[in-house]
Homo-oligomer: A and B are copies of this chain.
């Protein structure tokens, strides 16, 4: 008998009918003798609907109240899944984040799990019950409800798997695992059998939406093996995220990710003095504008161009902040481009083998795709390109790095 933590996403529990099917899957597993904890997201569009409701009252609602409000979505689905398990003849109980002992800091809207008190979970599991945990939420030291941010239910599941010393952590979703590229953009994309934590993190932060980056981090820290698989296609094996042992073998590029729409802001010819970056990016952070890639060109005559990317919705706000700063920091002007995207090549192999960057740039050049910006990590190369060419870039790179072959 092994102990498993499963997570079912919002699309897997979107209707009463789907909840019943999820219950059947869990029941099968339980009847095989396994001990099961299931983490659930809110049903379908519930979270968005609740956000809309709040915005009808306050355009910028209190984040503390927002967290309490949004936490109800996962509580609803957890109780319904528990009821569906009763129909399957199983003993089951739903627990809120607070009841499941998920203690967080008090950063509303993106709280981090501080610790998990597993006493109640162990007690319920000890009686043979299936335990359903409302994902995405926790409780602060002051007994206030917090949420972990978008995709937080993944983090709940991986953290519970670590705290409960589970034998397996399974993330069920509406796709068959982690793909070499987004299948909607690249028909040749195929699911990966397995992938390492670091690579998965790079994929998640550069556009792969299947798995929440923070959940992967928690998995890496505690060595939790995470299987990402399809809820309703039991035949597909899914992708195992783990401490990879096959690093030296085969194709070193594992996936191509992309972001459809980003905007770019360049501050021209600012004096390259110490602290200049902080003087630009601190006010942006204060305005709650999340900056993605940052590139600073080499100085010419102690003047430098500083370029960064933001979400399109943040462009106007970013320009406002930067234009206000310009007289203070002394740049020659600000230019922006709204219709850009990114394409990234990810793989641990590239850390030790040369030629990956060259192949990427050559491939884009051969396809007449202009590169606007470049940024890299040890295991990733990202190019900012025209938004209209993102799909072409993904398909070309997928072929060039021989990901089509499996």
Contacts and interface: CB of A to CB of B under 8 A. Distances in A.
A62 to B, nearest CB: 6
A144 B94 CA distance: 10
A129 to B, nearest CB: 12
A76 B69 contact: yes
A53 to B, nearest CB: 7
A72 B71 CA distance: 9
17 contacts: A19-B57, A20-B57, A57-B83, A58-B87, A62-B82, A62-B86, A65-B80, A65-B82, A65-B83, A65-B93, A66-B79, A68-B75, A68-B78, A68-B79, A69-B75, A72-B76, A96-B145
Contacts of A65: 79-80, 82-83, 86, 93-94
Contacts of A64: 93
Provide the main secondary structure of the chain A interface.
helix
Nearest to A66: B79
Contacts of A72: 72, 75-76
Nearest to A82: B65
Interface of A: 16, 19-20, 50, 53-54, 56-58, 61-62, 64-66, 68-69, 71-72, 75-76, 78-80, 82-84, 86-87, 93-94, 96, 98-99, 120, 143-145
A80 B53 contact: yes
A16 B57 contact: yes
Contacts of A57: 16, 19-20, 80, 83-84, 87
Max chain B C-beta neighbours (<10 A), residue from A79, A82, A86, A94: A79
B69 A54 contact: no
* Identical copies of this chain, number: 2
A79 to B, nearest CB: 4
A86 B58 CA distance: 8
Contacts of A66: 79
A80 B54 contact: yes
Contacts of A84: 57-58
A68 B98 CA distance: 13
A75 to B, nearest CB: 5
A292 to B, nearest CB: 30
Contacts of A82: 62, 65
Contacts of A16: 53, 56-57
Given A19-B57, A50-B76, A68 B83 contact: no
**Most B CB atoms within 10 A — which of A53, A64, A144?**
A53
Listed from nearest, the 9 A-B pairs whose CB atoms lie closest are A16-B56, A72-B72, A69-B79, A65-B79, A58-B83, A61-B83, A68-B79, A57-B83, A65-B82
